[in-house]
Amino acid sequence: MHQQNNNIIIDIFRFHGIKYLYMSQHPLEHIFHPRSIAVIGASEDPRSLGYHFVRHLLDYSYRGQIYPVNPKLEKVFNLKNYPDLKYVPGSVDYVISCISASKVVDLLSECPNHGVKVVHLFTGRLSETGRPDAVKIEQQILKQAKEFNIRLLGPNCVGIYYPKEGISFGYDFPKEPGPVGGFFQSGGAAGEFIRYASLRGIRFSKGISYGNALDLNETDFLGYFSEDKETKIIVSYIEGVKDGRRFLDTLRHVSRLKPVIILKGGRSKAGNRAAASHTAALAGSLNLWETAIKQAGSIQVESLDEMIDLTVSFSFLPPIFGRRVGIAGGGGGRSVLSADEWEEEGFNVVPLPDGLRNGLKEKAPDIWDWIGNPADRSMMEGSQISTGEILRMMLKESDFDFLIANVTDDAPFEKERWTATLREEISDFIEIGKNGGKPLAVVLRAGDLAINHFEDWRWKFIAEQRRRLIDAQLPVFSSFGRAAKAMRCLVEYYQKVSKLRG
């Protein structure tokens, strides 16, 4: 049933006794709501390309119809298998191609008979190889898809991750949805980002791997995410852009609505060559790219780790417009280094205001004049003042725009005393982050892993405390430098958007 209401299309359909309702103004919305999926080249052999897509649909409880297609099998994971797409009964919304490139043209010829709307081409070895015959096949595929009004995802890509619908290209991706949407030219970059960001508490609305971008490309997905109500933050890994002017015009519009974080692959000469052989991308001039992206209002990062850090900050912190930071916790050297790194990123580590110092004088008369900003945890030993107490006092002062809890991972005192103190501090940070009224981030150092670390009690304890913070949806960073850079990008974005919006 289709009903026009205030320019919003409401699509209601039923399958397997379940009623679905989704709202969309964007022509790509149907891609994410297939009622049936056919996997061409399906298999139960883990070494086969068609194994994983069927396995993931089952593991993620996809509620539509799954049609495995393989001429050599009768069943795949207890699902009825079909020797060819033409034998599949009824309509098929979405086709995943895991067959060789030479067979895709014949596959597309059968698609109109089943009402296929989208073909995801996991199929590779096309234009990214540089071979003229492969380029020719790719163009034949595109011509045929246009003739049949079929949208193509790929070639050379792993497709869609949409946890809300039970669609995934990773076996260990989160099944719970969230606010982050991403489009990635590399399936490997997509998988690495989703896995490691999820360990930091990030959850996803949708993720798209799009490969060679023969048909649907980065600008199409950027435009889609701008209108997607499930997506609040947009991330992307891009090796090349099909239409630079269209992309930048779209980016300029979208960046005013939502943060867009972009990682550009192929920045070096070697990386540029690798991008061309990986996804047939034309990477272009790095200087022109960086200038254009900055002018469009997007946030450019230089690594997947940095992209995860920024995603964490935008996911778990409210808009921050000021640069005055209050820092508490950690030892003397760490406090000095933290002040350096925050100010090097353009923040102001302001002195403690008189009101707070007077409060310290009352609560800790023996050490009050020893404590500053950053507030050194070691100076509080033996007093009634804790890191949590200092942060609570900072909450009451208008001199700070946001706060940083600095957690040391060393144990200068006996094990039992240190673990009890740190466990209590983490509880304080969680309560302050939830009810404090000022943004709070935590720096908890992730020491370099050695073979013995996994069995070391300290490593296990720190990992447990980090998990507590992440489960409480606090932004946790492994170093001052990474935290300061992520926070700088956050502040700069909101300052710029505020000016643009007037």
Neighbours of 139 (CB within 10 A): 13
Report which of residues 171 and 11 the model is more confident about: 171
- The mean per-residue pLDDT over the stretch 138-146 comes to 96
Mean pLDDT of the chain: 89
pLDDT score recorded for residue 1: 31
pLDDT score recorded for residue 24: 56
Tens digit of each residue's pLDDT (9 = 90 or more) over 45-96: 999 889 999 999 999 999 999 999 999 999 999 999 999 999 999 899 999 9
Q: Is the pLDDT reported for residue 9 higher than 80?
A: no
Whether residue 179 contacts residue 231, with contact meaning beta carbons closer than 8 Å, is answered with yes
Do β-strands 118-121 and 94-97 pair in parallel, antiparallel, or remain unpaired?
parallel
Work out the percent of the chain whose per-residue pLDDT is above 90: 71
Tens digit of each residue's pLDDT (9 = 90 or more) over 438-476: 999 999 986 655 556 667 788 888 899 999 999 999 999
Domain 34-153 has CATH 3.40.50.720: yes
Tens digit of each residue's pLDDT (9 = 90 or more) over 68-82: 999 999 999 999 999
Architecture of domain 159-316: 3-Layer(aba) Sandwich (3.40)
Of 114-128, 445-459, 475-489, the least confident: 445-459
**Selection from 497, 478, 499, 500 nearest residue 489 by Cα:** 497
Q: Where are the domains of the chain?
A: 34-153, 159-316, 325-500
Show the DSSP H helices in 69-149 as ranges. 104-110, 132-147
**Whether the domain at 34-153 and the domain at 159-316 fall into the same CATH topology:** yes
Q: How far apart are the first and last CA of the chain?
A: 41
- Is 243 strand, coil or helix? coil
Task: Provide CB contacts within 8 A for 453, sequence distance 6+.
Answer: 447, 459
Which amino acid does the sequence have at 430? I
Measure the CA–CA gap between 83 and 61, rounded to whole angstroms: 24
Tens digit of each residue's pLDDT (9 = 90 or more) over 235-289: 999 999 999 999 999 999 999 999 999 999 965 555 455 444 444 444 556 788 8
Domain 325-500 has CATH 3.40.50.261: yes
State how far Cα 233 lies from the chain centre.
8
Do β-strands 118-121 and 151-153 pair in parallel, antiparallel, or remain unpaired?
parallel
Q: Is the pLDDT reported for residue 335 higher than 90?
A: no
Do β-strands 8-15 and 2-5 pair in parallel, antiparallel, or remain unpaired?
antiparallel
Tens digit of each residue's pLDDT (9 = 90 or more) over 175-233: 999 999 999 999 999 999 999 999 999 999 999 999 999 999 999 999 999 999 999 99
pLDDT band at 44 (very low <50, low <70, confident <90, very high): very high
Neighbours of 459 (CB within 10 A): 17
DSSP state of 202: -
% helix, strand, coil for the chain, step of 5: 45, 20, 35
Measure the CA–CA gap between 338 and 75, rounded to whole angstroms: 60
